[in-house]
Amino acid sequence: METKTKKYTYKDFASDQEIRWCPGCDDYVILRSVQKALADLEIPKEDVVFISGIGCSSRFPYYMDTYGMHGIHGRAPAIASGVKLANPDLSVWVITGDGDSLAIGGNHFIHVLRRNIDLNMILFNNRIYGLTKGQFSPTSFVGQKTKSSPYGNTQPPFHAGELAIGAQARFFARVAGNMPAEMAEIFTAAGRFEGTSLIEVLQNCVIFNDGCYAEYTDKSVRADKQLYVEHGKPMIFGKDRDKGLVLEGLRLRVVKLGENGVTPEDILVHDACEQDPTLHQMLIRLEDPLVTGIIRSYGDVTFEQREDALTRQVKSNSDFRKTDDLFFSGETYEVH
Amino acid sequence: MPKSNYAMIKTSPEARDIQSLEAVVVRFVGDSGDGMQLTGTQFTDTSAMFGNDVATFPNYPSEIRAPQGSLYGVSGYQVHIGSIEVSTPGDNVDLLVAMNPAGLKTNLYAVKPGHTIIADSDSFTKKNLEKAQYETNPLRDGSLENYRVIEVAMTSLTKEALKGVEGLDNKSITRSKNMFALGMVYWMYHRSPEHTIDFFRKKFRKQPHLIEANTKVLNAGYYYSETLELIPNSYSIAPAKMPSGTYRVIMGNTATAWGFLAAAEKSGRELFLGSYPITPASEILHELVKHKHFGVKTLQAEDEIAGISSAIGAAFAGDLAITTTSGPGLALKGEALGLALMLELPLVVVDVQRGGPSTGLPTKTEQSDLLQAMYGRNGDSPLIVIAASTPANCFHFAFEACRLALEHMTPVILMTDGYIANGSAPWKIESAASLPEIGNRILREAREDWQPYQRDPETLARSWVLPGTPGLEHRLGGLEKDNPTGNVSYVPGNHEEMTRIRSEKIRRVQHRIPDVVPEFASEGDLLVVGWGGTYGALHTAVKQMQQEGYGNIGLAHFNYINPLPGNTGEVLRAFKKILVCELNTGQFAKLLRINFSGLEPEQFNKVQGLPFGNDELMDKFKQLLS
């Protein structure tokens, strides 16, 4: 996409605006990781655009010294689609949350993935509505007590990744909000991926949903509770790197290396580029361990590539160059 | 018109009377599958190419294929052709072509007593009569004795004509009977079938047997009229006097789409349309999507909100951005329109109005979205509202909407309606060279002192800085903006100041739009006031009043609604009485009352999903003048 490149540090992407997220919020970590990834991508910052919806996460564009727009609730994917189609040379990023993209903006979320426009979407999933002060979200679990579910939530949650795969997502990654190095690595890969890339960040909300992912993300447990997958590598995890995934019938099963004759060769090797999303879907649904990393990265034709090819074809088959050619064509007549 | 090689069947109507007419109204009616829209369009185009002025009114059900023969499945197409200026499709018809009993039943009311009905007698079967809720056959029971009825066994004559043509099934044979009817009407009005035969040649390029079949049936109808004793005379309508130039017949929605194409070319911006299909606006999408050769980008979005949101994104990135819809869609776009207004980006929203509220009457016309366009958003949210008033000037006002949006950095709502959007009329083609230049507020070079909400001192428009411009990176958003940095601001005084600026910015557009020019009289007893798509009806009625000797009546018709032209108050106050005529319960009248204190306009309102009729207008004018 880009031919011109520039050398930056993450600081070049910080705007002069004071950041107003709550102290201790994972959003600070995400912001810094995005800035690092952009520095790595070496895209001129005037070619970078951040579009957001509404919610805590959606204040994000104000803190980036790039072009940006804080849009309206749920509509960021649609706005960003317009930006990208108007100028395909731009690197366009969508910042959204679980309420913004899975509730009010659900329709745009699925359709943007289906079309595969070259956008990078970062979904801050804290399983709660923060900005409106603590109601349950479409990713809150059944029984979760919130301001709008004092006796416990009765609505079963979405898995963002499962929904995304159902909507034909070509790129899906999941990462914990307290793992900046992995985040930056994934954001960089997403920036290089042609097509819509979706990154779900498991983000802690210190005020309304503190510890919502602690069972997976706490430093004391994460080596055993998270499997960080990498394309082409066996899916091995655990503090002692002694656990792995095997496929048994239609289920993924955790096995221990060395037990029952299991060797590293028996462990599934992650193929993020596989077109068939069945295994990716199974990885997304797995709860113990929780799978993070780039789960799916299948290269496909983008919407704008299809449109561009079609436009070239129509142009080469048409005699119309200027509107006059059209207006005076066909059935016209003279009045004297 | 094209050279006719049709001399071989040139008729000699000298044998019978030829009556010369100034204007004639023809209505074709039949089942929604009978091809009445095509028949009407062909008659219209042929007449326009002959040099007549034309105005049309298609009237079709919202069901795609309603049960055959049913009353609610009737599709009609009315065309008014004249050697004089023709501004409406006409109220009452001189010739009704009825392809079935249901068509006759639902349209008989419009036929002038003593005038002609051509009916396909083959379709007046027991079953069809029942479906049309006729107890007896109207062709036999004497109920049509006040009309001149020409019964033609069109279905059997069509079958007869097609004997020996290979490759036709029964269905396509029966379907071509509309061409038999068209052939008859061509003979009656001295029109050459050549244009329509040319049309077959193009349309069926790859199916030569269909060219042959349709041409045969058309000719059969033409010859049949010639030889049929039942048609006592034929009519000639001389070409109309129109300003010289190159013309074509254009539908309102096509004209709107072409206005956008022209505006994109003149402004040097690429055109982007984000849209969700909705009746009666979808044809604008259908038309623009064809023109990829001009680099037009279209996105058929997942919903109305995505339509406008993608357009806002495209506007941010530098395209001439458009979204098209009708009333229910405009309601859905309300929040995003507020965003565009807050971002102060150029955007054009087309509202092709239909009967409301809710789903209302999708295929029928109305003007009841006016106050929605004016006020249908949260907060104090003024924007430009303009309205086209004829099928042909949809081109001009689409172009004008783009000019205002780009030069003033604001969303513009362009209002048309189902009546002018689907109607067609001659359009004197405007070449790019004859169109005005369109400016823009693009800033390409970084400037030390630049701020996102700095404004042009005259228009108050801010500059348009496109992503990709080095050194001018900035953030916009729907939260209130600090003046002029554009940073988020909750300061009470700033919000009030910005609210006033947004309003003043729209008010100042008044300096860049033309005055309203009253027609027929600039002072007197009665000023008829209208806006948008009712122009043809009002113009025709006031003109006829003048011809009847009422010299004290004028017409002020508005295309610029917000802001109103600068001379509006002066024009209105020059008359003793004001009558605001609109297809709603008085929305423009309300606006005038708000804007001009002490003004007490009378109202004439109609909300039947139909345009104004000439007689009802004239009755009302006369009542007010007496």
ipTM associated with this complex:
0.97
- Hey, of B244, B292, B428, which one would you mutate to test binding to chain A, going by the most A CBs within 10 A of its CB? B292
Q: Which pLDDT score, from 0 to 100, does residue B33 have?
A: 83
Q: Do B37 and B166 fall into the same domain?
A: yes
In a domain, A216, yes or no: yes
Q: Do B53 and B193 fall into the same domain?
A: yes
Q: Which pLDDT score, from 0 to 100, does residue B619 have?
A: 98
> Which residues, other chains included, contact B494 with Cβ-Cβ below 8 Å and sequence gap of 6+?
B480, B482, B483
| Residue B204 Rama label (left phi>0; alpha psi -120 to 50; beta) | alpha
Percent of chain B residues past pLDDT 70, beyond the cut: 97
Q: Which pLDDT score, from 0 to 100, does residue B228 have?
A: 77
Residues in B touching A318 (Cβ below 8 Å): 293
Residues in A touching B249 (Cβ below 8 Å): 331
Looking at residue B598, which CATH number applies to its domain?
3.40.50.920
User: Is a pLDDT exceeding 60 seen at residue B445?
Assistant: yes
Beta carbons of B368 and B583 less than 8 angstroms apart: yes
Task: Flag if B292 and A64 touch (Cβ within 8 Å).
Answer: no
Q: How many domains does chain B have?
A: 3
Of A61, A79, A327, the CB nearest to B313: A79
pLDDT in tens, B368-415: 999 999 999 999 999 999 999 999 999 999 999 999 999 999 999 999
In a domain, B519, yes or no: no
Considering chain A, what is the average pLDDT of its residues? Answer: 96
A336 pLDDT band, cuts 50/70/90, is confident
Q: How many domains does chain A have?
A: 1
Of B262, B294, B310, the CB nearest to A78: B310
Looking at residue B116, which CATH number applies to its domain?
3.40.920.10
Q: Do B193 and B299 fall into the same domain?
A: no
Please say which residue of B183, B204, B237 terminates a domain: B237
Please say which residue of B414, B434, B454 terminates a domain: B434
Of A75, A315, A336, the CB nearest to B292: A315
The residue with tokens 């200026």 is B85
In a domain, B354, yes or no: yes
User: Is a pLDDT exceeding 60 seen at residue B13?
Assistant: no
Task: Flag if A108 and B306 touch (Cβ within 8 Å).
Answer: yes
Q: Do B280 and B416 fall into the same domain?
A: yes
Beta carbons of B424 and B250 less than 8 angstroms apart: yes
Q: Which pLDDT score, from 0 to 100, does residue B15 have?
A: 53
Give the three-state DSSP class for B582.
Answer: strand
Residue B561 to residue B412: CA distance in whole angstroms? 11
Structure-block tokens of residue B583? 């297809």
In a domain, A4, yes or no: no
In a domain, A278, yes or no: no
Residue A143 to residue A150: CA distance in whole angstroms? 9
Q: Do B205 and B158 fall into the same domain?
A: yes
Residue B61 to residue B41: CA distance in whole angstroms? 17
User: Is a pLDDT exceeding 50 seen at residue A20?
Assistant: yes
pLDDT in tens, B18-57: 889 999 999 999 998 899 999 999 999 999 999 999 999 9
In a domain, B452, yes or no: no
Handedness of CA B131, B134, B135, B140 (dihedral sign): negative
Q: Do B197 and B279 fall into the same domain?
A: no
Looking at residue A119, which CATH number applies to its domain?
3.40.50.970
Task: Flag if B270 and A45 touch (Cβ within 8 Å).
Answer: no
The string of DSSP codes covering B470-519 is: TT---EEESSPBPTTT--B---HHHHHHHHHHHHHHHHGGGGGSPPP--B
- Hey, of A4, A83, A84, which one would you mutate to test binding to chain B, going by the most B CBs within 10 A of its CB? A83
The average pLDDT across B119-127 equals: 96
> B265 touching A, CB under 8 A?
yes
Task: Flag if B292 and A72 touch (Cβ within 8 Å).
Answer: no
Q: Which pLDDT score, from 0 to 100, does residue B62 have?
A: 72
Q: Which pLDDT score, from 0 to 100, does residue A1 have?
A: 45
Q: How far is CA A297 from CA A276, A294, B534, in A?
A: 11, 7, 57
Beta carbons of B49 and B41 less than 8 angstroms apart: no
Q: A207-212 long-range contacts, Cβ below 8 Å, gap at least 24?
A: A207/A22, A207/A130, A207/A134, A208/A126, A208/A128, A208/A129, A208/A130, A208/A133, A208/A134, A208/A146, A209/A126, A209/A127, A209/A128, A209/A130, A209/A134, A212/A126, A212/A127, A212/A128
Beta carbons of B580 and B503 less than 8 angstroms apart: no
> B602 touching A, CB under 8 A?
no
> B446 touching A, CB under 8 A?
no
Of B49, B261, B473, the CB nearest to A45: B473
Of B592, B625, B393, the C-alpha closest to B521 is B625
pLDDT in tens, A160-209: 999 999 999 999 999 999 999 999 999 999 999 999 999 999 999 999 99
In a domain, B282, yes or no: yes
In a domain, A37, yes or no: yes
Percent of chain B residues past pLDDT 90, beyond the cut: 91
The range of the structural domain enclosing residue B359 comes to 248-434
pLDDT in tens, B597-620: 999 999 999 999 999 999 999 999
Of B293, B433, B472, the CB nearest to A318: B293
Q: Do B41 and B76 fall into the same domain?
A: yes
Percent of chain A residues past pLDDT 90, beyond the cut: 97
In a domain, A269, yes or no: no
B5 pLDDT band, cuts 50/70/90, is very low
Considering chain B, what is the average pLDDT of its residues? Answer: 94
Residue B505 to residue B509: CA distance in whole angstroms? 7
Query: In angstroms, what separates the C-alpha of B614 from chain A's closest C-alpha?
Result: 28
Residues in B touching A196 (Cβ below 8 Å): none
Q: Do B67 and B193 fall into the same domain?
A: yes
Q: Do B268 and B122 fall into the same domain?
A: no
Residues in B touching A5 (Cβ below 8 Å): none
B10 pLDDT band, cuts 50/70/90, is very low
Residue B588 to residue B568: CA distance in whole angstroms? 13
Of A62, A71, A80, the CB nearest to B339: A71
In a domain, B482, yes or no: no
Task: Flag if B475 and A67 touch (Cβ within 8 Å).
Answer: yes
Q: Which pLDDT score, from 0 to 100, does residue B56 have?
A: 95
Q: Which pLDDT score, from 0 to 100, does residue A335 have?
A: 93
In a domain, A183, yes or no: yes
Structure-block tokens of residue B50? 């002959």
User: Is a pLDDT exceeding 80 seen at residue B8?
Assistant: no
User: Is a pLDDT exceeding 50 seen at residue B11?
Assistant: no
| Number of CB pairs, chain A paired with chain B, less than 8 A apart | 205
The range of the structural domain enclosing residue A22 comes to 10-227
Q: Do B323 and B409 fall into the same domain?
A: yes
Task: Flag if A86 and B270 touch (Cβ within 8 Å).
Answer: yes
Query: In angstroms, what separates the C-alpha of B233 from chain A's closest C-alpha?
Result: 28
In a domain, A249, yes or no: no
Query: In angstroms, what separates the C-alpha of B131 from chain A's closest C-alpha?
Result: 40
Q: Which pLDDT score, from 0 to 100, does residue B328 have?
A: 98
Looking at residue B325, which CATH number applies to its domain?
3.40.50.970
Task: Flag if A62 and B477 touch (Cβ within 8 Å).
Answer: yes
Q: Do B181 and B227 fall into the same domain?
A: yes
pLDDT in tens, B43-99: 999 999 999 999 999 887 777 777 889 999 999 999 999 999 999 999 999 999 999
The average pLDDT across B486-503 equals: 97
> B362 touching A, CB under 8 A?
no
Q: Do B89 and B201 fall into the same domain?
A: yes
Task: Flag if B343 and A331 touch (Cβ within 8 Å).
Answer: no
- Hey, of A84, A324, A327, A336, which one would you mutate to test binding to chain B, going by the most B CBs within 10 A of its CB? A327
Task: Flag if A85 and B314 touch (Cβ within 8 Å).
Answer: yes
Q: Which pLDDT score, from 0 to 100, does residue B226 have?
A: 86
Of the CA atoms within 13 Å of residue B593, those in its CB half-sphere come to: 11
Residues in B touching A64 (Cβ below 8 Å): 475
In a domain, B449, yes or no: no
Please say which residue of B393, B419, B434 terminates a domain: B434
Query: In angstroms, what separates the C-alpha of B286 from chain A's closest C-alpha?
Result: 15
Beta carbons of B48 and B249 less than 8 angstroms apart: yes
Q: How far is CA A26 from CA A74, A85, A97, A324, in A?
A: 21, 32, 13, 57
Give the three-state DSSP class for B450.
Answer: coil
Q: Which pLDDT score, from 0 to 100, does residue B164 have?
A: 87
Of B87, B25, B52, B83, the C-alpha closest to B533 is B87
In a domain, B468, yes or no: no
The residue with tokens 């416990």 is A152
B334 pLDDT band, cuts 50/70/90, is very high
B324 pLDDT band, cuts 50/70/90, is very high
